[in-house]
Amino acid sequence: MADTIPVAFSVNGHEVAAQVEPRTLLVTFLREQLNLTGTHVGCDTSQCGACCVHVDGTSVKSCTMLAVQADGCDVTTIEGLGTPEDLHPMQVAFNEHHGLQCGFCTPGMIMSAVNFAKGHPDPTESEIRDWLEGNLCRCTGYHNIVASVGAGARAMAKG
Amino acid sequence: MYAFDYHKPRSLAEAAALLAEKAEGRLMAGGMTLIPTLKQRLAAPTDVIDLAGIPGLAGISVTAHEITVGAMTTHAAVAHSPEVKAKLPALAALAEGIGDPQVRHRGTIGGSISNADPAADYPAGLVGLGATVVTDRREIAADDFFTALFETALEPGEIVRQVRFPIPLAAAYAKFPNPASRYAVAGVFVARTANGVRVAVTGAGPSVFRVPEMEAALDASFTADAIAGIVVSADGLNEDPHATAAYRANLVKVMATRAVAQILEH
Amino acid sequence: MGLMAKPIRRIEDKRFITGRGLYVDDVKMQGTAVGYALRSPYAHAKILSIDTEAAKAMPGVIGIIVGAELEAEGVGHLGAAFPASMLKNRDGSNRWDGDRALLTVDCVRYVGEPVAFVVAESINAAKDAAEQIFVDYEELPALASIDEALAPGAVQIWPQAPGNIALDWEQGDAAAVAAAFAKAAHISRIELVNNRIVVNSMEPRGAAGKYDKATDSYELYVTSQGSHPISDNIAKRVLRISKDKLRVITPDVGGGFGLKMSTFAEYALVLIASKRFGVPVKWMSERTEAFQSDSHGRDLKSTAEMAFDADGRILGYRVETNANLGAYGLGFGPGIQTAVPMFVIGGVYKVPVVYNHARAVFTNTVPVEAYRGAGRPEAAYVLERLMDQAARELGLGPDELRLRNFIPAGEMPFRSAVGALIDSGDFQRNLHDCMRQADWSGFAGRRAESEKRGLLRGIGLAYYMEKTAGGAGPVEICFTPNGRVEVGVGTSGHGQGHETTFAAIVADKLGVPMELIDLNQSDSLRAPYGGGTGGSRSLWSSGNGILKAADTVIGKGRTVAAAILNVAPEDVAFEEGAFRAQGSNRFLPLLEVAAAARGGTNLPADLSAGMPDGLDSSGTHDENGDTFPNGCHICEVEIDPDTGKVSVVAYNVVDDFGFVLNPLIVAGQVHGGVVQGIGQALLENCLYEPGTAQLQSGSFMDYAMPRADDFPPIKFTYNEILCTTNPLGIKGCGEAGTVGAAPAVMNAVLDALWARGVRHVDMPMTPIRVWETLQAAKG
């Protein structure tokens, strides 16, 4: 048992092929094999959302997905969303509206928000708050996160 | 997590064969319950059999009288399906209320009902609508499917293929979530069908159950007042730090009343 | 430069929003092994034996450490931050903190106490091995709560603490208070429970340690609120080595809230393990592990009484508190309900006499330490609940009773009965502003509208005052050879935006562009000594220190510039980042002067000899003078009587933080603090099972963390009433939101339930508790 098995998928546009133990979580693979440490682990009950990434364009909790389940998929992490030189509009919005303090929940929050924004070009406050059920933050009281997500969604809609 | 072997069969038959072969094998659908369980070392399967590679298990089809949801269909797919929203909006709303968006993107109906968590939402929907569970070997009425706490009528090795929901005249689901887990402390699905009203409760007891007194009262008069006098017994209901049995009994009545009111509003 | 008082966007954000932050778990050290703590499943048990042989033979295991080995090696124990002399029993005897070994040897005293430390090649191998460690426990009776610990005949957790009393402390004048009560026209009395909180910073605790044989020294990356205090504890207390043999580095930290102030056993264990096994070792807490191994917050019961004269003016105030300390007095634990809040007892009111008696009680639960506000929210909670109750009993509005008793702005500075010298404040103005902002007068209409929807609406206000300051260390401003300015501080930001705020002060003062300024913090061998960040005092300490250091920089620079410009120093002006020879157009930018001073070029020999460090300067804000942030919170709730669910529908705050340096960051601090306060009042509750002291709320599945959809927007404004005792005029803002929120919410909840006959409520008002309270009131 526990032999490694091959996986191959795309991460932030780069093809990745590796041998993994079946029990390897996607988040562990991203953090430890690929050194993509922007994706965080804040709980072990699939609730905090610090580990949110996109798999085939949809936000998922990478702590609740095996790396092998991503075989053949397109994975995007916070590092693939934008760079310090070329920020994604949602990243800009979080900076502009002070939507982060310690920054630990932020990558997951942003990845979740980007997914939300695709279906909500001009969201209401309650739509944003409902969507964020799966992303916990202990610093901001959510007030400025909600403002950031709204502004980011509208900026994304403008293109 | 304990180590396990991983399999991704390409057909139901192959999956069934693997299950038969691996005595300590476990099926994985979306993994939203299995993976946290494995992470906490609360289960130690030797083999995990991932159903994601089997064609045809995911998807929604609709006829005039029935909606069929494939076992691997995600909660998000049900919630956002224009056809489900049009023909059975209560089911779409129920799916939209499961977990959080990321859980809904991965979690599936087949995984949820096979796990039969007493606080899951789908069991109320299935029983409330009188759905039929279609497996790789037979059809099981929802009323017979959920047998006890985390127990179903599935035999060893039996795999859920789809769920067929008859389209009711009207339906609604009202739940009160646990403030921490957001699972249902009590969730009540009420459906008006051609064969009468069905009231199914999740979260409150060890397994989903119907409330015959409410069904009879609502059959006689489909109004909130009709159930106002019914006393829900707390006997046998769940107890935990978030809810006593008495509180749950109260919530069953309150949620049922709200579901009825929702139906009447539309 | 005008960089202060502006909502400057944070410069540290860029790395966080792009996933380029560096938290402890992101630190990579070649060949790192995984540390894993085996923890006690029992709340109270003797350890008869520990057998690690089978576990050591498991694949991937590098080694296992147990407590007896550490004792044999003379490894020191953990303890409280307060010296014995500083915090004594009221009879003059010493308190008892318990005796906390890194790994307990013969007795476990709470569920989650570490028993063995496994080092392995992977976390899975470590957990597999931990399952093969056989610990023979003999269970003892366990104490889950204050009441169980104080019950007659209760098991004694520590023989040195009879009756399970760790500390029996008092302040004030009991006789004077008794005399005041004797002549009172009215006495109000309230008993309150302050529920136990799990801190739950989103980043759990963690540590990565490496021992270097060649230099016989250690390096520790740790999730902390200050590297120096951690270094002090580990070097001096535990490893007994010189501080320069231990480099403690605090990288990015995912929230602290008091939790990360303290030194925990695992931080020292990774170092000991690294030395013993010859590999770097990293331990990261998992969330479920955090619930049973992080220090918790709050957990106390208070009885408070206030005596009033016939006009509703306060004559005296008396508080009796029993506080759950957990099984050990660690870090700030023994001080949380005693020394820390002692200067805010009585709050913003003219209280002639005070008596406050607090006992710290041992139980078989996780040690209780600081949680945002640390004692001050608890004090404000008792006071503001009591003021509301007294107002009802006296037939006065909650605003009216407070207005009658506020210390008037005209009487500042005011020496309070507990000895606080309150420098400034205009409580009446903030109260009125907040009531206007919250449309207090329109509440009746909103209540009627809620009633139509079957909902009970309530409004509640609270007026809090905090005390912050202290922990000062030197600030260093250094000019680096590559033309940058490095600001060294003894504080240790972990989400508060210090990189931006401190850079803004330097830039404003010295005219250096913000992008050329770097913050040097929380490296025990590189950054200036200081107590870290906690207690809302970083801006007080480092911000004011920057002003002092910058003044020295300018003074030195003027001398240097004068020499180069060949004019007298008094003829050199410093403006907009340059030294200018007055009456001419000749000027030298500061950074050029700094480079010249460093190189000694073009300078008279005596001048360069007198300035060996160039313009590098340090400054310490060491002036006495606390700050007293204060403000008014008004909360409005709607309660569904059928389900018991409380919804906060409006929340208003008007604060006085003195000078507001960055309004954006200050607002963020208030929002976060308020939500933590609301969380405690309505959602969060850490439960231990009576009798067994097993943790019942052991994960996010059972412990309700505040989520975005639990809250409305928070309306925050402020009045800047400058603090008179520090140059910036600031008052600490970091904890204030938490201090004011819980009483405001609970006053609103009681207001909503009052008409249904409810006369008392305790936190947290979860749905079931609200529903049961309503059922009980029905009779």
For strand C517-521 and strand C485-489, is the pairing parallel, antiparallel, or unpaired? parallel
**Parallel, antiparallel or unpaired: strands C517-521 and C572-575:** unpaired
User: For tokens 């913050």, what's the residue?
Assistant: C519
Residue C156 has pLDDT above 70, yes or no: yes
pTM of the predicted protein model: 0.97
Locus of tokens 């500083």:
C86
Distance of residue A60 Cα from the nearest chain B Cα, in angstroms: 5
A25 burial type by CB count under 10 A (0-12 exposed, 13-18 middle, 19+ buried) = buried
**CA C162, CA A132: separation in Å to the nearest integer?**
49
Q: pLDDT by residue (tens digit) across C646-662?
A: 999 999 999 999 999 99
* Cβ distance of B180 and C124 shorter than 8 Å: no
Q: What is the 3-state secondary structure (H, E, C) of A86-98?
A: ECCHHHHHHHHCC
Residues 453-512 (C) with a CB less than 8 A from some CB of B: none
Q: Where are any strands of DSSP class E within C154-278?
A: 165-172, 186-198, 206-212, 217-222, 246-249
B41 touches chain C (CB under 8 A): yes
* C122–chain B Cβ distance below 8 A for any pair: no
Per the CB < 8 Å rule, is B102 touching A25? no
**Do B247 and C704 count as a contact with CB atoms less than 8 A apart?**
no
The tokens describing C610, both together, are: 């007198």
The rounded distance, in Å, linking the Cα atoms of A61 and A81 is 16
> Strand, helix or coil at C222?
strand
Q: Inform me whether the C-beta atom of residue B37 falls under 8 Å from chain C C-beta atoms.
A: no
Q: Which residues of C touch B41 (CB under 8 A)?
A: 127
A-B contacts at Cβ under 8 angstroms: 83
Residue B181 at interface with chain C, using a CB cutoff of 8 Å: yes
CA distance A131 to chain B (A): 6
3-class DSSP state for residue C115? strand
pLDDT of residue C600: 72
Nearest Cα neighbor of B24 from B156, B134, B143 is: B156
The answer to whether B142 touches B126, Cβ cutoff 8 Å, is yes
Q: In 3-state terms, chain C is what percent helix, strand and coil (to 5)?
A: 35, 25, 40
* Chain B contact present for C132, CB below 8 A: no
Which pLDDT score, from 0 to 100, does residue C183 have? 98
Please, what is the angle between helix C427-437 and helix C398-405, to 10°?
160
Cβ contact C645–B244 (<8 Å): no
Residue A75: in which H helix or E strand, if any?
strand A74-76
| CA gap C471, C32 in Å, rounded | 35
Q: What parts of chain B have a pLDDT lower than 50?
A: none
* B182–A contact, CB cutoff 8 A: yes
DSSP run (H or E) holding C691: none
Residue spans of alpha helices (H) in chain A = 26-28, 78-81, 89-96, 106-119, 125-131, 143-158
- So what's the pLDDT on residue C569? 92
Answer yes or no: are the C-beta atoms of C708 and C298 closer than 8 Å: no
Q: Are C25 and A37 within 8 A, CB to CB?
A: yes
Q: What is the length of chain B? A: 266
Contact between chains at C702 and B181 (C-beta distance less than 8 A) = yes
* Sheet containing strand C474-479, strands side by side: C517-521, C485-489, C474-479, C617-620
ipTM: 0.98
Mean pLDDT of the C126-139 span = 98
- The answer to whether B54 contacts chain A (CB < 8 Å) is no
Give the residues across from B140 on adjacent strands.
B133
Strands (E) in C534-645, as ranges, are: 572-575, 578-581, 587-589, 617-620, 630-639
Q: What is the pLDDT of residue C599?
A: 78
Optimal mutation site among C127, C688, C768, C773, interface B, most CBs of chain B within 10 A: C768
The total number of residues written for chain C in this structure: 779
Contacts of A63 in chain C (CB under 8 A): none
**DSSP secondary structure, C184-203, as one string:** -SEEEEEEEEEEEEE---SS
Sort B46 into a burial class: Cβ within 10 Å, 0-12 / 13-18 / 19+.
middle
> Which tokens sit at C119?
């080092």
Our measurement of the distance from residue C445's CA atom to the centroid of its chain's CA atoms, rounded to an integer in Å, reads 39
Rounded Cα distance between B34 and B44, Å, is 11
C697 lies within 8 A of chain B by CB: yes
Residue numbers in A near B100 (CB within 8 A): 47, 49, 133-135
Mean pLDDT, rounded, for A78-85 = 95
Distance set, CA C92 to CA A16, B182, C87, C95, C158 (Å)? 68, 51, 9, 9, 20
Contact C19 A43 (CB under 8 A): no
Bridge partners (DSSP) listed for residue C714: C651
Strand order in the sheet with C296-308: C165-172, C354-362, C314-326, C296-308, C186-198
pLDDT at C42 over 70: yes
Q: Provide the pLDDT for residue A2.
A: 55
Asked whether the CA dihedral B49, B50, B56, B62 is positive or negative, the reply is positive
In eight-state DSSP terms, residue C641 is: T
pLDDT at position A153 over 80:
yes
Tally of residues, chain A: 159
**The two three-digit tokens of residue B223, written as one number:** 């109004």
How many CB pairs below 8 A link A and C?
Answer: 187
Q: What is the pLDDT of residue C605?
A: 75
Interface contact A44-B105, CB threshold 8 A: no
To the nearest whole Å, the CA of B157 is away from the closest chain C CA by 29
Residue C147 neighbours by CB under 8 Å, 6+ apart:
none
How far is the C-alpha of A12 from the C-alpha of A17, rounded, in Å? 13
C398-413 pLDDT tens trace: 999 999 999 999 999 9
Among C672, C701, C705, whose Cβ lies nearest the Cβ of A136? C705
End-to-end distance of chain A based on CA atoms, in angstroms? Answer: 50
The residue assigned the tokens 């660690």 is C330
Q: What is the largest CA-CA distance in chain C?
A: 91
Residue A39 in tokens: 């994706």
Candidate from A45, A59, A135 with C-beta closest to B105: A59
Amino acid at A111: M
Q: Is C607 helix (H, G, I), strand (E, B) or coil?
A: helix
- Chain C nearest-CA distance from A89, in A, is 11
B4 → closest Cβ in A22, A60, A131: A22
Asked if the model's pLDDT at residue C18 lies above 90, the reply is yes
Phi and psi based region of residue C765 (left: phi greater than 0; alpha: psi -120 to 50; beta: remaining): beta
Give the N- to C-terminal CA distance of chain B in Å, as an integer: 48
Q: Of C124, C202, C667, which has the smallest distance from its Cβ to A48's Cβ?
A: C202
C242 touches chain B (CB under 8 A): no
Q: What is the DSSP letter of C214?
A: T
- The residue of C14, C15, C17 whose CB has the most chain A CBs within 10 angstroms, and thus the best one to mutate to test that interface, is C17
| Cross-chain residue pair A142–C671, CB shorter than 8 Å | yes
Distance CA C763, CA C770 (A): 10
What strands, in cross-sheet order, belong to the sheet with A58-61?
A14-20, A5-11, A74-76, A52-55, A58-61
Which segments of B64-166 does DSSP mark as H helices, in order? 75-80, 82-87, 89-96, 101-106, 109-115, 122-129, 142-145
* Separation of alpha carbons C137 and A92, rounded Å: 55
Among C542, C708, C728, smallest CA distance to C618 is for: C542
Q: In the structure encoding, which two tokens stand for residue C731, read together?
A: 């008052």
Chain B residue whose CA is closest to A127: B101
**What's the whole-number average pLDDT of chain B?**
97
A101 and C668 in contact by Cβ < 8 A?
A: yes
Cβ contact C704–B251 (<8 Å): no
- Select from C527, C466, C533 the least CA-distant residue to C501: C533
Contacts of B3 in chain C (CB under 8 A): 124
The pLDDT tens digits for C686-729 are: 999 999 999 999 999 999 999 999 999 999 999 999 999 999 99
Best mutation target among B244, B251, B255, B258 (most C Cβ atoms within 10 Å) is: B251
Q: What is the mean pLDDT of residues C627-638?
A: 98
B194 Cα to chain C: minimum distance (Å): 31
The tens digit of pLDDT for each residue in C320-361 reads: 999 999 999 999 999 999 999 999 999 999 999 999 999 999
Q: Tell the burial category of C152 from Cβ atoms under 10 Å away from its Cβ (0-12, 13-18, 19+).
A: exposed
**Phi, psi at A63, each rounded to 5°:** -85, -5
Q: Give B-chain residues touching A133 at CB under 8 angstroms.
A: 100-101, 182
**What is the spatial distance between Cα B121 and Cα C385, in angstroms, rounded to a whole number?**
40
Cβ distance B255 to B175 under 8 Å? yes
Query: At C2, is the pLDDT very low, low, confident or very high (cuts 50, 70, 90)?
Result: confident
Helix H or strand E segment including C255: none
Tokens of B23: 């005595």
Percent of chain C's residues with pLDDT above 70: 100
How many Cβ atoms are within 10 Å of C291's Cβ, its own excluded? 25
**pLDDT for B255:** 98
Q: Which of B176, B180, B250 sits opposite C701 (nearest CB)?
A: B180
| Subunits in contact with chain A (3 or more CB pairs closer than 8 Å) | B, C
Residue among A98, A104, A135 minimizing CB distance to C255: A104
User: pLDDT tens for residues C215-243?
Assistant: 999 999 999 999 999 999 999 999 999 99
pLDDT 10s digits, C444-482: 999 999 999 999 999 999 999 999 988 778 999 999 999
The mean per-residue pLDDT over the stretch C205-220 comes to 98
What's the confidence (pLDDT) of residue C228? Answer: 96
Residues of C within 8 A of B180 (CB-CB) are 683, 697, 700-705
Nearest CA to CA, how far is C709 from chain A (Å)?
A: 5
Strand, helix or coil for residue C14 = helix
Closest chain A C-alpha to B39 CA, distance in angstroms = 7
CB spacing of C665 vs A37 below 8 angstroms? no
- Tokens at residue C583, please? 């009456």
d(CA C19, CA A90): 13
**Lookup: tokens for C323:** 């506080």
Task: Encode pLDDT of C573-616 as tens digits.
Answer: 999 999 999 988 899 999 999 999 987 766 777 777 778 889 99
Supply the mean pLDDT for chain C: 96
Q: How far is C63 from chain B (nearest CA, A)?
A: 20
> Given a cut of 80, is residue A1 above it in pLDDT?
no
pLDDT of residue C761: 98
Task: Decide the pairing of beta strands A52-55 and A74-76.
Answer: antiparallel
**Computed from CA positions of residues B242, B248, B253, B256, in that sequence, does the dihedral angle turn out positive or negative?**
positive
Nearest Cβ partner for B251 among C643, C687, C772: C643
C576: left (phi over 0), alpha (psi -120 to 50) or beta: left
pLDDT score recorded for residue C553? 97
Q: Which of C124, C643, C645, C646 to mutate to test the interface with B (most CBs of B within 10 A)?
A: C643
> Under a CB-based contact definition with an 8 Å cutoff, are residues B85 and B94 in contact?
no
CB C768 to CB B244 under 8 A?
Answer: yes
